[in-house]
């Protein structure tokens, strides 16, 4: 009887070691060496999709990146630019309002917001932001390109919506 009790105690204590509630090697892995994102692939992929003109995909990926890190300025700027290209200006405006107090004085923000105004046809507002970006960094090629786009937009004929129907 004593022997049976000893065997059952030995088995019971041995079973405690393998319970489903114990920490395994993977759950106690040290993560202190990981970067800010567990993997920057989402942000890198979003930027690549934007560069390739896949604005719908980049919009979704930048939005997913914001779910991971809600205060990431690069993700907000990409989200706003993607929304602009999809002509979802109300979402772009929301992103620009979030960014303005943080990076509103930087050339990247001024160029992006000016381009957003250019897409909307608000040429005077676009000019204001492009010139502000130019004053901060006169050698910036993006600013020079945006000013050239603005000059070309002023010289192109204005058409009302629907003027090109029937062509």
- If one counts the domains in the chain, the total is 2
Q: Are 111 and 135 in contact (CB under 8 A)?
A: no
Between CA 167 and CA 138 the distance in angstroms is 42
In this prediction, residue 26 carries a pLDDT of 44
In this prediction, residue 22 carries a pLDDT of 45
| Same domain as 87, residue 67 | yes
Range 40-56 burial, b when 16+ CB lie within 10 A, else e: eebbebbbebbeeebbe
Within a domain: residue 164?
A: no
| Same domain as 64, residue 75 | yes
| Same domain as 83, residue 136 | no
| Same domain as 111, residue 98 | no
Domain range for 119 is: 104-155
| Same domain as 108, residue 85 | no
| Same domain as 96, residue 124 | no
Rg (alpha carbons) of the chain, rounded to whole number: 28
What parts of the chain have a pLDDT lower than 70?
1-2, 4-39, 157-167
In this prediction, residue 38 carries a pLDDT of 57
Q: Read off the pTM.
A: 0.71
Write out the DSSP string of 152-164.
HHHHSPP--TTTT
In this prediction, residue 31 carries a pLDDT of 46
């Amino acid at each position: 009887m004593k022997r049976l009790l000893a065997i059952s105690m030995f088995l019971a204590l041995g079973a405690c070691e393998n319970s489903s509630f114990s920490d395994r090697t993977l759950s106690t892995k040290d993560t202190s060496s990981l970067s800010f994102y567990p993997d920057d692939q989402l942000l890198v992929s979003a930027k690549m999709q934007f560069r390739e003109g896949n604005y719908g995909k980049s919009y979704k990926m930048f939005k997913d990146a914001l779910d991971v890190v809600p205060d990431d300025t690069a993700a907000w700027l990409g989200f706003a630019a993607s929304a602009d290209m999809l002509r979802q200006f109300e979402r772009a405006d929301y992103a620009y309002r979030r960014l303005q107090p943080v990076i509103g004085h930087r050339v990247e923000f001024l160029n992006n917001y000016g381009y957003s105004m250019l897409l909307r046809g608000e040429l005077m507002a676009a000019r204001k932001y492009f010139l502000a970006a130019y004053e901060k960094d006169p050698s910036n090629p993006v600013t020079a390109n945006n000013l050239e786009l603005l000059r070309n937009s002023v010289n192109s004929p204005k058409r009302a919506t629907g003027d090109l129907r029937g062509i």
